[in-house]
């Protein structure tokens, strides 16, 4: 014979609960009070699960509501998952702490999340998990992860010196063609790593790939010819770089 588990839960101060229920207008709080009033009024032969099914409330949730009512009364019914005091859990770092933390982080260009976690523990005596630290950095301080730039064999250690030498060579060739400094107007704009969308030449590569993908290529020479032809046609138009110019060198006005 299968036995039905009877309800073994008591609601303290049912008269006070009913008085709050009669006056309550918040539908969320009212539902909690209704459930607890049903538990107090209905026959004990009904199980808690059966009563919860009447108002479509999970049984574990009912236990939380009843415990909150038992411990904190009406305030518990309004905020059943809190531990008392002001609504909401107090933040581990207040606004002053966050301002101090931000100034400390700005003093160093690169941080690991675990390093920030250690810093918070040392400065504020607050123990946080790595995920909590990440959330604070994103949501409170507006900081985000940055992908490190690889320093491998493909990037020479003297890359800066090589770039400078090539610029000098290009400048001298342009001057030899009779161009003035105003005509040359070389301006370096360094883009962040792993940001091809910021480089206007990427749009030309995209166009070349699109043209080649629908073309019949009979030989390697034909492929090279197609790439060269598409490049020459696309590079003539400054529309590829319009957004880039407006974003990085807005003082350049004579482009078409």
In angstroms, the CA 53 to CA 161 distance is 75
Tens of pLDDT, residue by residue over 110-125, are: 778 888 888 888 888 8
What is the pLDDT, as a whole number, of residue 33?
A: 92
Asked if the structure places residue 177 within a domain, the reply is yes
Tens of pLDDT, residue by residue over 208-231, are: 888 888 877 788 888 888 888 888
Tens of pLDDT, residue by residue over 140-171, are: 888 766 544 444 455 667 777 888 888 888 88
Based on the domain organization, do 45 and 108 belong to the same domain?
A: no
Residue 256 has pLDDT above 70, yes or no: no
Model-level pTM? 0.34
Residue 3 has pLDDT above 70, yes or no: no
Residue 2 has pLDDT above 60, yes or no: no
What's the mean pLDDT when you consider all of the chain? 78
Residue 136: give the domain boundaries: 95-140
Domains contained in the chain, number: 4
Asked if the structure places residue 84 within a domain, the reply is no
Asked if the structure places residue 205 within a domain, the reply is yes
Asked if the structure places residue 89 within a domain, the reply is no
Based on the domain organization, do 55 and 71 belong to the same domain?
A: yes
Tens of pLDDT, residue by residue over 26-47, are: 888 889 999 998 888 888 888 8
What is the pLDDT, as a whole number, of residue 209?
A: 87
Based on the domain organization, do 183 and 196 belong to the same domain?
A: no
In angstroms, the CA 54 to CA 43 distance is 14
Asked if the structure places residue 86 within a domain, the reply is no
More confident residue, 91 or 223: 223
Based on the domain organization, do 200 and 251 belong to the same domain?
A: yes
Based on the domain organization, do 39 and 73 belong to the same domain?
A: yes
Asked if the structure places residue 35 within a domain, the reply is yes
CA dihedral 98, 100, 104, 109 (to 10 degrees): 50
In angstroms, the CA 106 to CA 94 distance is 18
Based on the domain organization, do 54 and 72 belong to the same domain?
A: yes
Residue 238 has pLDDT above 70, yes or no: no
What percent of the chain clears pLDDT 90, i.e. is strictly above it? 2
Tens of pLDDT, residue by residue over 55-82, are: 888 888 888 899 889 888 888 888 887 6
Based on the domain organization, do 199 and 238 belong to the same domain?
A: yes
Asked if the structure places residue 148 within a domain, the reply is no
Which of 145-154, 182-191, 236-245 is least confident? 145-154
What is the pLDDT, as a whole number, of residue 113?
A: 82
Which of 18-27, 54-63, 78-87, 168-177 is least confident? 78-87
Based on the domain organization, do 199 and 174 belong to the same domain?
A: no
What is the pLDDT, as a whole number, of residue 76?
A: 85
Asked if the structure places residue 63 within a domain, the reply is yes
């Amino acid at each position: 014979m299968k036995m039905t588990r009877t309800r073994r839960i008591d609601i303290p101060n049912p008269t006070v609960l009913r008085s709050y229920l009669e006056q309550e207008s918040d539908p969320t709080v009212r539902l909690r009070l209704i459930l607890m009033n049903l538990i107090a009024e209905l026959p004990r032969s009904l199980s808690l699960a059966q009563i919860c099914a009447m108002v479509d409330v999970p049984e574990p949730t009912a236990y939380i509501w009843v415990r909150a009512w038992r411990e904190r009364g009406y305030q518990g019914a309004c905020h059943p998952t809190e531990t008392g005091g002001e609504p909401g859990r107090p933040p581990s770092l207040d606004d002053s702490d966050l301002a101090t933390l931000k100034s400390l982080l700005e003093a160093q260009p690169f941080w690991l999340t675990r390093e920030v976690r250690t810093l918070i523990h040392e400065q504020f005596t607050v123990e946080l998990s790595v995920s909590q630290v990440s959330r604070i950095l994103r949501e409170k301080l507006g900081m985000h992860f940055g992908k490190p730039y690889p320093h491998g064999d493909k990037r020479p250690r003297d890359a800066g010196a090589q770039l400078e030498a090539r610029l000098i060579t290009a400048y001298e060739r342009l001057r030899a063609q009779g161009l003035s400094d105003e005509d040359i107007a070389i301006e370096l704009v360094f883009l962040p790593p792993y940001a091809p969308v910021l480089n206007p030449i990427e749009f030309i590569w995209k166009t070349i790939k699109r043209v080649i993908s629908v073309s019949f290529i009979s030989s390697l020479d034909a492929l090279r010819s197609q790439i060269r032809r598409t490049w020459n046609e696309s590079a003539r138009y400054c529309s590829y770089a319009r957004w880039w110019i407006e974003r990085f060198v807005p003082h350049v006005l004579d482009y078409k």
